[in-house]
């Protein structure tokens, strides 16, 4: 069955990038990017990542397996508009997705077809509709929420996410763009309950994978958490 | 050598309790407590925890070992004033610490001696002084920062913490008291670099232990992170 999945590299304090870069300056030189590059450093040396970027070499380790598996599992992607705009030029003629990508946006635009199986379809009917389109296109594989972080948060808040994997990088940033924040819209005595399904540990990053069970009242006793499981 | 350690149960989004309880109402019935009890649920059924509370029974599992080991390693504690005040009554005549506790406070007060080896000494000369007092009293064991969360954050910000262990509970809370937040005082292109030293995984909680290396500029390349290791 097609699952909706998301994964993101975060600091131990939950940031996926530095403070938001505003204005016309060079994003690559921004504090937002500096933190992002620190958090994704574990990926850039991995063979599975380099292959998708068209580079040779790289380490064939656990981290590479995690990346390769994620690319393999995704039959379609959903992406935020800011990430799609930002990636359009650097990804070039053959973006690393090799699958249909559905971009959540307010601006209609004809589908952009790239080499290697990647296409960008611009969906103006909202997030839930984009997820449905991606499910239809995934051919039985998973729908991966490609990011950015605010889109992942929206998908979780909307109850559309089945699996969340955080790649926790051993650094504390103190400031920046936070994946899980107040606009999840949870009540004071309510949480999103998760089930840890896999933990992989390397010196550079800890991979924490969870199945999302859904919203439930906070209960202190060990007898249940209100989700009926 | 005496290490300064801290450990705290947190949600996947980094909260150690719900939104701060203000005023005179019953803390136990507050939203702050509801989240705190959800996050510490994994402890209350563990044999090592129950023993220290004077209760029989409980599970002898990995979680119990983690708790027992933490109690065993600590030769002295440093504690925030709010936690010490809040615990004074419920901990009763024999608090679970069985070691000297140094409370960081502005209000002088005579040392309070309890049964089982626990004493509370009120230190008004600041955090660093309290940590020094605790080191002297630890008899070669570790100094554990008992909490609350804001004290742990202050100790990390002051560069006094050697080891941090987070017990990550599989729930997202969206709001509450956050362990790692902006008042760490880090610059935009600076982080506290950590080294993961142990990961233990159970269905109820994931234990992530880190050695604290210290502040360093954020570097993207794999060649180093500025800490000289």
Angle between the N-to-C axes of helices A149-157 and A127-137, in degrees from 0 to 180, rounded to the nearest 10: 90
For chain A, state the CA radius of gyration.
18
pLDDT at B1: 85
Mutate to test the interface with B, among A64, A188, A200 (most CBs of B within 10 A): A188
Asked if residue B229 has pLDDT above 80, the reply is no
Q: Between the ranges A20-34, B41-55, B193-207, where is the mean pLDDT highest?
A: B193-207
| CA closest to B28 among chain A residues | A220
- Considering only the beta carbons, identify the residue of A171, A182, A184 that sits closest to B193: A171
Per DSSP, B8 falls in state: E
Residues of A in contact with B191 (CB under 8 A): 11, 35, 38, 171-174
Can you list the alpha helix ranges (DSSP code H) found in A119-186? 127-137, 149-157
B214 to chain A, any CB pair closer than 8 A? The answer is no
Asked if residue A225 has pLDDT above 90, the reply is no
Residues of A in contact with B38 (CB under 8 A): 191, 218-220, 225
Domain boundaries, chain A: 4-217
A68 to chain B, any CB pair closer than 8 A? The answer is no
Q: For all residues of chain A together, what is the average pLDDT?
A: 93
Q: What angle do CA A178, A182, A185 make, to 5 degrees?
A: 135
pLDDT at A227: 41
pLDDT at B225: 43
A90 to chain B, any CB pair closer than 8 A? The answer is no
- Token pair listed for B93: 């005549």
Distance from CA of A173 to the nearest CA of B (A): 5
Span of A43-47, A157-161, A223-227, B125-129 with lowest mean pLDDT? A223-227
Mean pLDDT, residues A63-83 taken together: 96
- Token pair listed for A218: 């906070």
Q: What is the dihedral of CA B206, B209, B214, B216, to 10 degrees?
A: -50
Asked if residue A222 has pLDDT above 60, the reply is no
A14 to chain B, any CB pair closer than 8 A? The answer is yes
Give the whole-angstrom CA distance, residue A37 versus residue A79: 19
- Token pair listed for B76: 């002295």
A60 to chain B, any CB pair closer than 8 A? The answer is no
B218 to chain A, any CB pair closer than 8 A? The answer is yes
The end-to-end CA distance of chain B, in Å, is: 20
C-alpha distances in angstroms, A134 versus A11, A127, A160?
29, 11, 12
Convert A126-149 to b/e letters by CB count within 10 Å (16 or more is b).
ebeebbbbbbebbeebbbbbbbbb
Inter-chain residue contact A186 with B196, CB threshold 8 Å? no
Mean pLDDT, residues B157-181 taken together: 96
Cβ(B177)–Cβ(B17) under 8 Å? yes
Inter-chain residue contact B173 with A191, CB threshold 8 Å? yes
Inter-chain residue contact B31 with A220, CB threshold 8 Å? no
Residues of B in contact with A174 (CB under 8 A): 180-182, 184-186, 191-192
Asked if residue A111 has pLDDT above 60, the reply is yes
Mean pLDDT, residues B70-76 taken together: 97
Residues with Cβ within 8 Å of residue A28, at least 6 apart in sequence: none
Give the whole-angstrom CA distance, residue A185 versus residue A190: 10
C-alpha distances in angstroms, B141 versus B41, B67, B102, B134?
28, 16, 15, 10
Give the whole-angstrom CA distance, residue A15 versus residue A166: 11
Inter-chain residue contact B188 with A220, CB threshold 8 Å? no
- Considering only the beta carbons, identify the residue of A179, A186, A195 that sits closest to B173: A186
* pLDDT class of A224 with cuts at 50, 70, 90: very low
Mean pLDDT, residues B58-68 taken together: 94
Mean pLDDT, residues A55-76 taken together: 95
List B residues 140-159 in contact with A (Cβ-Cβ < 8 A). 156
CATH number for the segment(s) B4-217: 3.40.430.10
Inter-chain residue contact B174 with A181, CB threshold 8 Å? yes
């Amino acid at each position: 069955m097609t699952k909706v999945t998301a994964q993101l590299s975060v600091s131990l304090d939950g940031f996926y990038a530095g403070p938001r870069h505003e204005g016309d300056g060079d994003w690559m030189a921004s504090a937002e990017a500096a933190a992002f590059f620190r958090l994704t450093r574990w990926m850039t040396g991995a063979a599975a990542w380099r292959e998708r970027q068209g580079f040779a070499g790289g380490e064939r380790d656990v981290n590479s397996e995690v990346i390769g598996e994620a690319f393999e599992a995704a039959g379609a992607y959903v992406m935020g508009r800011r990430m799609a705009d930002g990636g359009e030029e650097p990804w070039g003629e053959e973006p690393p997705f090799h699958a249909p990508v559905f971009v959540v946006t307010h601006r209609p635009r004809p589908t952009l077809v790239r080499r290697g199986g990647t296409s960008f379809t611009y969906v103006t009917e909202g997030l839930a509709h984009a997820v449905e389109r991606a499910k239809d296109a995934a051919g039985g594989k998973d729908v991966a929420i490609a990011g950015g972080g605010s889109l992942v948060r929206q998908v979780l808040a909307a109850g559309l996410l089945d699996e969340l994997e955080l790649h926790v990088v051993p650094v504390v940033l103190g400031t920046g763009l936070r994946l899980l924040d107040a606009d999840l819209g949870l009540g004071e005595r309510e949480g999103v309950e998760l089930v840890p399904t896999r933990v992989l540990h390397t010196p550079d990053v800890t991979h924490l994978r969870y199945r999302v069970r859904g919203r439930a009242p906070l209960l202190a006793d060990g007898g249940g958490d209100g989700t009926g499981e």
